[in-house]
Amino acid sequence: MRKLGDPMKKYIPFTYKMLIPYLLLVLLTDVIIGYVSYTMLTESRTEMAETNIRTGMEQARNNIRYQMDEIQRMSDTLFGNLAFQRAMQTKGEPYDIYLIMLDEIVPEITAPLKLFGNHIRLMLYTLNSDLYIVSGDNLEEPIHRSDYYILPFEDIQDSAWYQQFKDSERDNIWLQIDTDQRLGNISHIRRLVSYSGNMTVIGYVRITASLDDLFGDFSTFPVEQGITVRLIDSASDGALLYQRGNAEMDAQRGKYLSLHEPIPGTDFVIEALVPKAYLTKDAGRLQRVIFTVCGISFICMAFIGFIVARLSGRKMKRIVWLVRSFQEGNFQKRIRFSGNDEFVHIADAFNVMAANIQGLINSVYVQGIQKKQAELEALQAQMNPHFLYNTLSTISSLANLGETAKVTEMVQGLSRFYRLTLNQGNVFTPLKHELKQVETYLGIQRVKYAGAFSVHVDVDPELLQVQVMKLILQPFVENTFKHAWFGESIAIVIKGKRRGDDLELKVIDNGIGMRPETVQRLLIGPSPSGGYGVKNVDARIKLRYGGKYGIRIASIYGGGTTVQILLPMNSGELPAME
């Protein structure tokens, strides 16, 4: 039977369980309809957005390819112009060089700049040290206007990109060098060679353009809505050359739709990363409408079902209430239903069962109490004859020795002892009376042993009125004389103190002590060497108060014995066995 105070086990009423499958079916239908509608709209939006983005990528590809071709034609013009080549190799007086640059070199460089639509930088690195240097704008800053530069070859001969370029057979290529990556630029690199001699290198052409200008209009790539446009060099393991948009999206690539558009004639690929949120943004409103309708429908059905379940489940709830009362041990409650349905029959059956169980429990409980009382009385009856036997044996020994005065004193002490033991038929006695009974017993023993033993009592005065079972100390004091005495004298200490809600009594002696197996035999039961009283007291305490209380013995052979008696502080207030 469930203990009182234990938490009730929660349950779902049967009528609510019947409602759950129906609500689940309604919810499943709403979810399927909403999911299908949302999926179709999302797919439609995805296809439309993907088409728009691909169209923009194709436009960007064509724009980039066209401008790269224009820049390529610039370098082709310089590469194939023989007069330009001769001018680049001219040496002589500074004035002659100045005229050559003014008439032959600078016009060939500036003419393409005027025809190209976007701002670019055209740099000419010459090996001819006689040519004048034209520094142009600051290369560390973004391109704000078209400009040209005539620079010495020494400016690039130690750079990392030139060292890789000169040792390779590649020419007429696009690279990001120096500050290009930081400024978002890209450069076209080409060698200039002389066709009049042995095809020697006379210089290098570098044409730098802004990638923003190459891509053109970004209206088809709304980067403010999360779209990212990138330019990737597939020949360099996907090296990133340019990016417009979210720079932190690599860690969340699974949330993006990735589109690629290669640029013909190059190793470059345009990549567009479109966030799934952008694809489904138009579906958000319908999604909210679908979820709202489904939610309202489900809430309405749940409310109606709850009302129906509540009305139909009242009788079942009353039956459950009766069952829980039975779990708590209350069999007096009954339940009555009007009508003639199955709940009425269930209630009647429960009422009959409760009456039968109540009668059975009363019968079993009374029998158990009576049995327990009989066991206690039997144990109590065993104590008195046992002590009487030991005392009469001592009196007989004194009579044989002719100690008439001692015999008389012991008989009087025995009379006082049993008067205290009878205790007017009460099972409990104040602790001070129990101590007085021990004192009476010790008075009997002093007749026999004179001053050969000493006794010290240390009990808190506030504990003297505590009710305890009678005859719980004397058997252990008696065992001290019978089994612990070794030598000419022995000392006994009786202690009593409170331990929380428990009372602890101790009987301590400095006798010969016991081995562990002897202690175990004393607690198990009587043996040829004695120990009947120890088991008796322990059994009485446990029978009355439970297994937590009782006797514990600690003994060291040759070092003495301590007996601990543990009782509840309110032991005398427990219900009487009657």
- What confidence tens digit (pLDDT) does each residue in 142-195 have? 988 999 999 999 988 888 888 888 877 788 888 888 888 889 899 999 988 887
Average the pLDDT over 385-412 and give the result.
72
Contact between 319 and 334 under an 8 Å Cβ cutoff? The reply is no
Taking alpha carbons only, the member of 503, 455, 461, 459 closest to residue 481 is: 455
DSSP letter for 190, please.
Answer: E
Where is pLDDT greater, at 451 or 425? 451
Run of H or E including 147: strand 147-152
Round to whole Å and give the CA distance between 105 and 189.
18
Place of tokens 């020795």: 401
Tell me the backbone φ, ψ of residue 370, rounded to 5 degrees: -65, -40
- What confidence tens digit (pLDDT) does each residue in 462-507 have? 988 988 887 788 888 888 887 888 778 889 999 999 988 899 999 9
Contact between 402 and 548 under an 8 Å Cβ cutoff? The reply is no
Signed CA dihedral, 99, 104, 105, 111: sign only = positive
- Tokens linked to 70: 């224009």
- What confidence tens digit (pLDDT) does each residue in 105-155 have? 899 888 888 888 889 999 999 998 889 899 888 888 998 899 999 999 998
CA torsion angle 13 16 18 22 (round to 10)? -160
Round to whole Å and give the CA distance between 449 and 394.
11
- Tokens linked to 442: 């010790």
Taking alpha carbons only, the member of 184, 189, 117, 197 closest to residue 156 is: 189
- Tell me the angle at which helices 532-545 and 342-400 cross, rounded to the nearest 10 degrees: 160
In the sheet where 201-210 sits, what is the strand order? 147-152, 120-126, 201-210, 185-193, 173-175
Contact between 38 and 194 under an 8 Å Cβ cutoff? The reply is no
- Tokens linked to 255: 């949330």
Round to whole Å and give the CA distance between 279 and 257.
9
Which range (20-34, 99-113, 402-416) has the least confidence? 402-416
Round to whole Å and give the CA distance between 331 and 504.
39
Where is pLDDT greater, at 340 or 218? 340
Tell me the backbone φ, ψ of residue 201, rounded to 5 degrees: -80, 125
pLDDT value of residue 528? 47
List all residues 6 or more positions away from 195 whose beta carbon is below 8 Å from its beta carbon: 82, 85
